[in-house]
């Protein structure tokens, strides 16, 4: 065999070996990259628990129960908040890898400020990753996935997004308990209501009680005794107690809550009794007006004309509500009287 032939064959063997090596390593790298970028979890219908924790020490647990999603086993969860997070979990995708130059900086920032999410299905952890800061143009979010088999984070962070959505995703992984808590105060359909009692403490003579004997027979009474009423207006009023929410749940550490619980007197108390004789009680308090609001309306209001405070959940919680929502409920008995 000629020497040139031997050289050529040796070269071809070496080239083949090198090609196999490159192919195997490329396949291995591709597999690792795919695993490290697999943030999406599509089967959110099977998700039964989500744990969130940030670098500031705030953490919360939401769980799916027979009574709906619950926060830390104590509070009902806002439907819109959990629905948005579940949608994000099922839709998040990698927008681009992080450049070698940007990797060190991204990991450094995330080590100081990020939120960990743990996603569970049937009691088993199915996904864990860290949600970091937005990109400079606010169209992507840095994320870092955890390898559940080794319980160690992958080395490569990625820039993520939701296709078709312009913005960043970090605010959806919220660890603030107040933002998660359901704002629902009252949700009773007319057939569920047995009695409505409105006590107007500043105008006690205008207070009233409505008895619902059936959906066709009602009673209206005041200190003056039983009164005649406009039936259509009565039916409309009774329908107002479905899906009634406050605007903001107040943190118990808030100085406003401290002030309300210690010294404030309610201007009105609403008591609803259902067919099972369960009571729902809401106490309403005036909110002081702001100088800017008085200036805006050119009126010296004694109390805020737009907002009020409400005590609910058997006196355990406080919220801020809008007169736009509660004004139609906070009526005097004159509201029901026949129009002459």
pLDDT digits (tens, 9 = 90+) for 78-137: 999 999 999 999 999 999 999 988 899 999 999 999 999 999 999 999 999 999 999 999
HSE (CB half, 13 Å, CA atoms) of 79?
A: 5
Give the C-alpha separation, 184 to 69, whole Å.
Answer: 14
Q: How confident is the model at residue 212 (pLDDT cuts 50, 70, 90)?
A: very high
- Count of other CB atoms within 10 angstroms of residue 188: 21
pTM over 0.85: no
Q: 6-20, 118-132, 166-180: which has the minimum mean pLDDT?
A: 6-20
Q: Which two tokens stand for residue 198?
A: 């409105």
* Residue keyed to tokens 């559940």: 148
Strands (E), 38-134: 47-54, 59-65, 68-71, 75-76, 93-97, 115-121, 124-134
């Amino acid at each position: 065999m000629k020497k040139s032939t031997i050289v050529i064959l040796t070269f071809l063997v070496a080239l083949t070996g090198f090609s196999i090596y490159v192919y195997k390593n490329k396949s291995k790298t591709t597999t690792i990259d795919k695993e490290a970028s697999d943030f999406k979890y599509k089967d959110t219908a099977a998700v039964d628990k989500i744990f969130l924790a940030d670098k500031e020490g705030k953490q919360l647990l939401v769980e799916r129960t027979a009574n709906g999603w619950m926060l830390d086993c104590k509070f009902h969860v806002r439907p819109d908040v959990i629905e948005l997070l579940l949608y994000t979990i099922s839709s998040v995708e990698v927008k681009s890898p992080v450049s070698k130059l940007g990797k060190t900086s991204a990991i450094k920032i995330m080590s100081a400020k990020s939120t960990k999410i743990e996603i569970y299905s049937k009691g088993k952890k199915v996904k864990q990753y860290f949600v970091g800061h937005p990109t400079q143009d606010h169209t992507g979010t840095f994320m870092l996935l955890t390898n559940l088999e080794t319980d160690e984070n992958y080395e490569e962070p990625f820039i993520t997004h939701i296709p078709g959505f312009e913005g960043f995703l970090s605010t959806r992984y919220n660890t603030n308990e107040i933002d998660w808590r359901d704002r629902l105060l009252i949700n009773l359909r007319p057939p569920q209501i047995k009695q409505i009692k409105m006590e107007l403490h500043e105008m006690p003579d205008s207070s009233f009680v409505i008895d619902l004997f059936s959906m066709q027979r009602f009673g209206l009474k005041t200190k003056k005794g039983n009164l005649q009423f406009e039936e259509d207006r009565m039916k409309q009023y009774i329908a107002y107690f479905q899906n009634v929410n406050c605007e903001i749940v107040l943190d118990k550490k808030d100085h406003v809550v401290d002030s309300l619980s210690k010294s404030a007197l309610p201007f009105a108390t609403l008591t609803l009794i259902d067919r099972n004789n369960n009571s729902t009680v809401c106490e309403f308090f005036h909110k002081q007006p702001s100088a800017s609001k008085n200036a805006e309306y050119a009126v010296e209001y004694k109390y805020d004309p737009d907002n009020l405070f409400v005590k609910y959940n058997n006196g355990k919680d406080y919220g801020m509500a809008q007169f736009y929502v509660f004004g139609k409920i906070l009526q005097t008995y004159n509201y029901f009287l026949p129009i002459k």
